Structure 1
Amino acid sequence: MAGNSFGDLFRITTYGESHGKAIGVIIDGCPSQIDIDEDFIQSELDKRKPGQSKITTQRKESDIAQILSGVFEGKSTGTPIAINIPNEDQRSKDYSHIKDKFRPSHADYTYQMKYGIRDYRGGGRSSARETAARVAAGAIAKLFLKQHGIEIFAHVSGVGQLEAPNLDVSDLTELVSLRESNIVRCADPATAAEMIEFIDQIRKNGDTVGGRISTVIRGLPVGLGEPVFDKLHADLGKAMLSINAVHGFEYGSGFAGSEMLGSEHNDIFIAEEGKATRTKTNFSGGIQGGLSNGMDITFRTAFKPVATIMRDQATIDESGSETTISGKGRHDPCVVPRAVIIVEAMAALVIADHLLKYQSNAR
């Protein structure tokens, strides 16, 4: 199966299935002598792992990262880094009822039609379980970016029709603290309380709901990105849209910018002696002409409702006959609380890849 690798210079390849023995990732192109903090890698995986709270799936996985290669005495060696994450709490019997049926809005039908075979246990390779490998790789990318003063922050800014107010993003460290103080990972405490109550009610009703994640990337030099097809926002968009359940991506002013006038939307340059060039507004989202302009990169990622609901639904079986299917197993009523760290990881992988390209082209 093609499509399992991502990136050019900082390149990852993931492997494994939801109910297989393990999932994992091979990272190629990570520079040597990067401090590899295994506690940090584990803390990143802990933010994504299942069973965290009443509003996430109750599957229990410790998601312990096993670094198999590419690290010596706490530093990257420049050779491929392999990280394995064993699966521990598979309940394949929970999926026996869908062996010959196609779940609505899942990848069951498309995988069966494309390959003539599918792993119906939790969706196999199409399962969001695969994203744990991305988070492990993203943690390595973050450690690389940290040495260059680059920060990435994401939080849940919307669930259903609930929307958090715009945040003061001057102190990203403080926002991380606020985000991690609640189980929905929204950095606005008042909105977080509403979101938690709403998601819990949706869960009790046997249904699911979608949401939105807002991201800020700070500390980039001017000029990250490549013309014409590898523009920075294009690669960020591809990265986000590769995440399970993502149905939308916008950067800067996004779709709202299409309702504005040019005189309103243009970002006016400000020249201040002794300071880096910046703009009065940031409707461009930190990217112009596909290249970073030194301002914060901002984007939003929209997630659809989780497809598995705890209700009977009409469907078809492999013979094409109409039937019904019942939701079983352990599933998130809303994916965004656990997806925050996935969004950050994919953003880190894109920026790490483009930073290496930038360094190779440095004047």
Structure 2
Amino acid sequence: MKTKIGLLYGGKSAEHKVSMQTAMAVIKALDLEKFDIYPIYITEEGQWVKGPQLTGPVENVKALEFTKEDPQAGAPLAPTLFQAEGEKQKPLDVIFPLLHGPNGEDGTVQGLLEILNLPYVGNGVLASAAGMDKVIMKNIFAQAGLNQVNYVWFIRSEWEKAKKQAYEKVEKELGYPCFVKPANLGSSVGINKATNRSELEAAFQEAFQFDRKIIIEEGVTAREIEIGVLGNDEPECSVAGEIVPKKEFYDYKAKYEDGDTALIIPADLTEEEYAKLKEMAIKAFKALDCSGLVRADFFLTKDGELYINEVNTMPGFTPFSMFPLLWKHSGVEYPELIERLVKLAKERHAEKQNIKHTL
């Protein structure tokens, strides 16, 4: 019997376009002999619209953009959004959230799916929320004893009251160069490198356009190494990959628009470095109570110092994305990767059904 899968994509987020590209790639990868595909599109205004069942790959992103005038449009809690056509009382077998950034990757949608008691691919509410907020994530990593670069953070209101003191704190505790980032965005949106006070001020201004909280990290001269983690209670790691940006750092444009970067898979690492990488990735996965998948990102210095940078709880599945490429080089082809994620989602959901909710 086919698995009825609902693809949830789009979203009210600066990463809407990234999500659309991810949805295109996943649809192309799904085996129609095994899956019935139901698209659920969230517009940039936050409107939820369910499209008709897909019978094959779509030509372009426009084919996945349904409008609020669609008769199947509804509020997020409208039961029909999560039901298969012709089976009004039967929910979809599993939901695959292909959402990036706030209102999708941050635990909000995961909470909705928990309330509806639906199986869904990927991380739960806690891991998604903690993984989205770079400050909370780094605080948890620090508690777990994971090696990180130095960082400081600010909320907009405190910065507006004491801008000079904020800049001085960065200079005193981190120095230059440093990286200024919105705390709750991924895909390198709103990130800038600062090498002096003027650039730092501009970077603060831009980052605060995307979030009320920002994080500033110490700049280190290091290789950028990434690894994929897959599983629930017993996660496993892929081979490692290295990102070699042609620009100063791996920004949004390099990731999603021009592919202006080199991906080296597998990365040139010693056995000891790879073993340490896997150990730290799994430790981070468990510290956040992750499930399904994450991509863990690291810095490796010339003297062999390894720092965890962050984990991405919903890595992209675009043609330029690292996560599926890492698993492909580990012997797991794209369609199989999708199927394993769906299986993990069902297993985690089945386990939750055994939890008592009454005395």
- Normalising by structure 1, we get a TM-score of 0.28
